[in-house]
């Protein structure tokens, strides 16, 4: 039975390695998603500034067009001045021209403010673009690194699974049946070492008599607390 227990311990070690490799592979999609999320954040920040600048430029062009139209109106009113027949009409045209000039002056102030704002945003956008480009390169490099590690893990997993099957074939059928049954019930750690009468699976003390029997390797034994297979130090 000692030889069979040694094989089960080896089988357990391979199974544990398989579990750890599968655990790493299970994180690959989340790791890549997190990188994509970081890149999306950098892109959103950049795109938001670009959209704000486009809106300001649109507003500027609209104000520019309006001031141009108003200047045309002022020019047209000037031409009319020489042909008006009454003082009231003359004063009315002057008032209209003054109102248009005042409106244009106000819009020109707005345009200057917009230009100042655009200039500030251009500096911010240049930095956001730099950050995005840097993030894009870093994310691409990190994703490539993750993929390389995942490819290595997949290759390792294939080798471990093959080794697990080979070792499993050396286990006696009845012993293997017990091992697989316990494995189904308790999960990854199927057979646990006992040292100083303490089970490494649940960290509970086993009875002294059981510990003495365990060291004789006469039969497979179970931890009375966690129901794992247990063995004394080999």
The reply to whether 178 and 149 lie within a common domain is: no
The reply to whether 91 and 189 lie within a common domain is: no
Nearest to 157 by CA among 26, 63, 64: 26
The reply to whether 154 and 109 lie within a common domain is: yes
Structural domain harbouring 38: 27-159
- Per-residue pLDDT averaged across 192-220, rounded? 94
The reply to whether 143 and 31 lie within a common domain is: yes
The reply to whether 59 and 142 lie within a common domain is: yes
3-state secondary structure of 219: coil
The reply to whether 112 and 153 lie within a common domain is: yes
List strand residue ranges (DSSP E) for the chain, in order: 191-195, 198-199, 221-222, 229-232
Q: Are 201 and 209 in contact (CB under 8 A)?
A: no
Rounded to whole angstroms, the Cα distance separating 122 from 110 reads 18
What is the reported pTM? 0.72
Domains identified in the chain, total number = 2
pLDDT digits over 153-183, tens only?
999 999 999 999 999 999 999 999 999 999 9
Q: What are phi and psi of 31, to 5 degrees?
A: -65, -45
Q: Is residue 33 part of a domain?
A: yes
User: Considering the chain, what is the average pLDDT of its residues?
Assistant: 95
Q: Is residue 22 part of a domain?
A: no
Q: Is the pLDDT of residue 1 over 90?
A: no
Among residues 159, 181, 200, the one where a domain terminates is 159
């Amino acid at each position: 039975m000692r030889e069979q227990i040694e094989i089960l311990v080896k089988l357990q070690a391979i199974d544990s390695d398989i579990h750890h490799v599968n655990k790493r592979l299970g994180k690959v999609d989340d790791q890549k998603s997190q990188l994509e999320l970081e890149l999306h954040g950098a892109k959103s920040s950049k795109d938001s500034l670009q959209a704000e600048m486009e809106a300001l430029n649109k507003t500027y062009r609209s104000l520019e067009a309006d001031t141009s139209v108003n200047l045309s109106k002022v020019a047209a009113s000037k031409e009319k001045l020489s042909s008006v027949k009454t003082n009231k009409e003359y004063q009315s045209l002057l008032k209209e021209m003054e109102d248009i000039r005042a409106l244009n002056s106000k819009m020109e102030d707005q345009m200057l403010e917009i230009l100042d704002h655009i200039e500030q945003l251009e500096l911010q956008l240049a930095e956001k673009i730099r950050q995005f480009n840097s993030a894009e390169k870093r994310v691409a490099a990190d994703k490539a690194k993750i993929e390389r590690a995942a490819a290595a893990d997949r290759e390792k997993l294939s080798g471990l699974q093959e080794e697990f099957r080979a070792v499993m074939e050396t286990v006696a059928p009845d012993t293997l049946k017990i091992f697989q049954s316990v494995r189904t019930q308790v999960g990854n750690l199927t057979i646990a070492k006992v040292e100083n009468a303490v089970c490494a699976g649940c960290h509970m003390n086993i009875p002294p008599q059981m510990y003495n029997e365990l060291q004789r390797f006469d039969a497979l034994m179970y931890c009375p607390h966690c129901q794992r297979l247990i063995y004394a130090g080999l």
